[in-house]
Amino acid sequence: MKLWQWLFALIVGRILRRRSPPEEPRQKPERIVPVGSPQRRAENLVLVFLGLAVVFALGFIVVYGQFSPRGMSNSLLGITLGGSLLWIALALTVVAKRLVVTEELEDDYPEQHPEKQREVVQIVHESGSRITRKRLLVGAGAAAGGTLGLAALTPVLSLGPVWDTDALDETPWRRGVRLVDDEGTPLRADDIQHQSFYTAFAEGADKELLGNSLVVIRLDPDKLHLPHGRSDWAPYGIMAYSKICTHAGCAVALYRNPKFPAVQPSPALVCPCHYSTFDPFTGGQVVYGPAGRPLPQLPLMIDDEGYLRAAGNFSARVGPSWWNVRERPTNA
Amino acid sequence: MNRDPLADPVRFIDERTAAAPQMRKFMRYLFPDHWSFLLGEVALYAFLVLIATGIYLALFFDPSTAKTVYHGSYTPLDGVRMSNAFKSVVDISLTYKAGLLMRQTHHWAADVFVAAILMHLMRVFFTGAFRKPRELTWIVGLILLFTALLEGYMGYSLVDDLLSGMGLAIGYGVGLSIPVIGGPVIQALFGAPFPGSPHLWSRMYIAHVLLVPLLLLALIGVHLLLVMARHHTQFRESPRHTQKRIIGVPLFPGQVPRSLALMLFVAGLLFLLGGLIQINPIWQWGPYEPWLGTNGAQPDWYLGWLIGALRLMPGFDVTIGHYTLIPNPFWGGVLFPLVVLGVLLAVPFAERRLTGDRGVHNLADRPRDAPGRTAFGVAFLSWVFLIFAFGAADRIFVLWGLSYNVQLFVFRIAIWVIPAILYVVTRRWCRALQVAEEVEAIQESAEEDIRSRAKARAPTAAGGR
């Protein structure tokens, strides 16, 4: 009962309030927006377009309901939703071109305010007129603000081990570590064929570590010209290089292998990102592309059971070059 | 007489905010009527579509690099080890209703967003609209552009598919290449050597969906406020268009339906693209691992200029003995974009210095009106564009069989020679257009002269003297 009474009072109240101030017949103010002639055909067009927008929007809901990831559904969803938007856009275009009065108005570009500028400066100066040691106070304020800012920024250092950049050089390769393939199966020297290209990892290590993945290939031992001190790094011509390009850190995922060696360039390891090309015969020297230093080579040996093992760590740091990268030795 | 139904709400607002005078003024804010002034609006509306579709994607995306084995609806990937991030995007694409539409529209909108900003930038440059009093608008716009590039890069890195991983690896290499601070900065951002600690994904995610969008919103807000404070420039279309008086269409009723129509056109076309034209089918690329790569990988178009620069650079690190000082990716990946940004930032101030023109400019130049500026702009843009084009050299090789070697050789020369030629040609062309206009004006005034003389003589001739 209470609710009905309230509602009744509300309705009566609204009616009375509407009627209470007697409307004075005011003079119509002068028009601001100019008059234009009615355009019933344009209005009809707008109605048609809006109707189509309704149809397309409903279509979207229907298509969504019938959705199957394998069918045409995505195209239909795009057509219906995009279409609905485009029909409304067309309706609005008609409104803009035909139904709204086209006005060309003039206005002033904003001026400068020299007087106000002067007053701003004046207010600032006069406000500080009691202060005698301005430079000292400003300096102290700057010192306080600056140190507080510095203090507030210090926790940023928690973001990473910022100064401990040794982690960038980490590799799992030590003397005796076995090479395994993608599945974790140890690689035998016999598995490595000429003219093919194998990706290998350190047994038991995190495969994602930049210093882990290797390219393993087999070349004719007589044709190798390895740098000084690497003569026993490639038993039977089997050699391993880091798979991470020394330019920008992409995987050296291409093995250029001539089908017709007479005219084609010799075998090389290529990074598909910027086409740095490394010569495996000479210990990974750069023969083409933007890389600035050779691909690190890993010394290999073959154990009694015929498995491939590392004979030590890489010849240089793995991964993209950075400050000092050549100088520091890799961890043994 | 019925009471106007609008009167009450307007009174309500004015009584509480005292904003009626500002509303009145804002409704009659003038927009000069020229199509090229809509390019910035296209960018704005693409941004709105990015926010709308991005919110939808955020409801399903899982920013985690923890590994899982896929057993979803897309059987070719069955049993493949992948990150939760990649899996969630595959699911968005192939399992959730309308997910693919939203993802593809989001991707298209990002491409269109940057493209529209770039077109807008060119319009502003070639009409001299960056001059006093609009230098700040120009600077904020440039920061917007580069922030948008960063946002786009993080967006496709988050997906953790093969291409995004290759892009992230390059970003890592480029970051490391910064002299002295490269190592610490990259360690701070990635949290660990590449592919980074699990924190990297949380960081990139919050940056991509909150921090950078907020920054973009703030920059867009400042940009628009600055535009409104000084109004648009206008072309010298008639003697009535002057430095002092702006002529245009009022915001209401003239501009509102136009702008809304443009917004819906942009949104509609983006959804059509998202529905009909496949973009970045990540389930075909597969998940990324640091030891994987593929030939023919290309980033989104707006990063192509950086790939081009990295590829064009001759292969050397700056070293002293066995110390590496400046690794190679620094040139193309860090210095090059900084030079481009620096040159663009300096444009208003350099021009003021070179021309000695310190005046206020509300009238936009046509490109021919400032031959030096136009020629410089064409040369500079062509320089960046040629480097961009070389980023696609491997695709050009596949498409037309043009040797990569030959292209490298040609481009290394062309990026310097062609801009120089274009500078000279553009300058002369602008001058020629100016001269042609002068000649035309002289002809017209002469013809006018003849006609008026003929008129003056006519009555005397009729008089038969």
pLDDT at B465: 45
pLDDT for residue B168 is more than 50: yes
pLDDT digits (tens, 9 = 90+) for A281-301: 999 999 999 999 999 999 999
The arithmetic mean of pLDDT across residues B395-412, rounded, is 92
Q: Which residues contact A256 (CB under 8 A, 6 or more apart)?
A: A265, A267, A268, A269, A270, A277
pLDDT for residue B463 is more than 90: no
Partner-chain contact A69 B94, CB within 8 Å: yes
Q: Please compute Rg for chain A using Cα positions.
A: 39
The arithmetic mean of pLDDT across residues A53-57, rounded, is 97
Answer with the residue of higher pLDDT: A259 or A293: A293
Share of chain B above pLDDT 90, in %: 81
Cβ-based contacts of A323 with chain B (< 8 Å): 179-180, 182-183, 324-325, 327
Give the pLDDT band (50/70/90) at residue B255. Answer: very high
Among B4, B38, B101, most A C-beta atoms within 10 A, so best to mutate, is: B101
Those of residues 192-211 in A touching chain B at CB distance below 8 A are: 199, 201, 207-211
C-alpha B422/C-alpha B419 separation (Å) is 5
- 3-state DSSP assignment of residue A332: coil
Answer with the residue of higher pLDDT: A26 or B426: B426
Cβ-based contacts of A208 with chain B (< 8 Å): 195, 289-290
The arithmetic mean of pLDDT across residues B126-133, rounded, is 94
Domain boundaries, chain A: 39-101, 169-310
Closest-CA distance, B286 to chain A, in angstroms, reads 15
Buried-state track B428-458, b at ≥16 Cβ within 10 A, e below 16: ebbeeeeeeeeeeeeeeeeeeeeeeeeeeee
pLDDT for residue B461 is more than 60: no
Average pLDDT over all residues of chain A: 89
The arithmetic mean of pLDDT across residues A212-234, rounded, is 92
Token pair of A301 as six digits = 């040996």
Identify the residue whose tokens are 């002639």: A37
Domain boundaries, chain B: 34-290+301-359, 366-442
What are the φ/ψ torsions at residue A201 (nearest 5 degrees)? -135, 165
pLDDT at A332: 44
The arithmetic mean of pLDDT across residues B272-288, rounded, is 93
Cβ-based contacts of A213 with chain B (< 8 Å): 290-291
pLDDT digits (tens, 9 = 90+) for B36-78: 999 999 999 999 999 999 999 999 999 999 999 999 889 999 9
pLDDT digits (tens, 9 = 90+) for A87-112: 999 999 999 999 998 888 999 999 88
Q: Which residues contact A250 (CB under 8 A, 6 or more apart)?
A: A244, A271, A272, A273, A274, B166, B169, B170, B173, B293
Cβ-based contacts of A163 with chain B (< 8 Å): 184
Q: Is A302 exposed, middle or buried (0-12, 13-18, 19+ CB in 10 A)?
A: middle
| Residue B98 backbone class (left: φ over 0; alpha: ψ -120 to 50; beta: rest) | left
pLDDT digits (tens, 9 = 90+) for A115-159: 999 999 999 999 988 999 999 999 999 999 999 999 999 998 888
Average pLDDT over all residues of chain B: 93
Asked if the C-beta of B262 comes within 8 angstroms of chain A's C-beta atoms, the answer is: yes
Closest-CA distance, A135 to chain B, in angstroms, reads 30
pLDDT digits (tens, 9 = 90+) for A308-329: 999 999 998 899 988 877 655 5
Partner-chain contact B269 A273, CB within 8 Å: no
pTM, to two decimals: 0.91
- 3-state DSSP assignment of residue B317: coil
- 3-state DSSP assignment of residue A108: strand
C-alpha A77/C-alpha A282 separation (Å) is 57
pLDDT digits (tens, 9 = 90+) for B192-235: 888 888 899 999 999 999 999 999 999 999 999 999 999 999 99
CATH class of domain segment(s) A169-310:
mainly beta
pLDDT for residue B464 is more than 70: no
Cβ-based contacts of A79 with chain B (< 8 Å): 272, 275-276
Partner-chain contact B324 A249, CB within 8 Å: no
pLDDT digits (tens, 9 = 90+) for A243-256: 999 999 999 999 98
Give the pLDDT band (50/70/90) at residue A5. Answer: confident
Give the pLDDT band (50/70/90) at residue A331. Answer: very low
pLDDT for residue B163 is more than 50: yes
Contact, B462 vs B414, CB < 8 A? no
Count of CB pairs separated by less than 8 Å, A with B: 304
Pick from B380, B374, B428, B424: nearest CA to B128: B374
CATH topology of domain B34-290+301-359: Cytochrome Bc1 Complex; Chain C (1.20.810)
Cβ-based contacts of B313 with chain A (< 8 Å): 290
pLDDT digits (tens, 9 = 90+) for B299-356: 899 999 999 999 999 988 888 877 888 999 999 999 999 999 999 999 999 999 999 9
pLDDT at A36: 85
pLDDT for residue A167 is more than 90: no
Closest-CA distance, A276 to chain B, in angstroms, reads 8
The arithmetic mean of pLDDT across residues B259-271, rounded, is 97
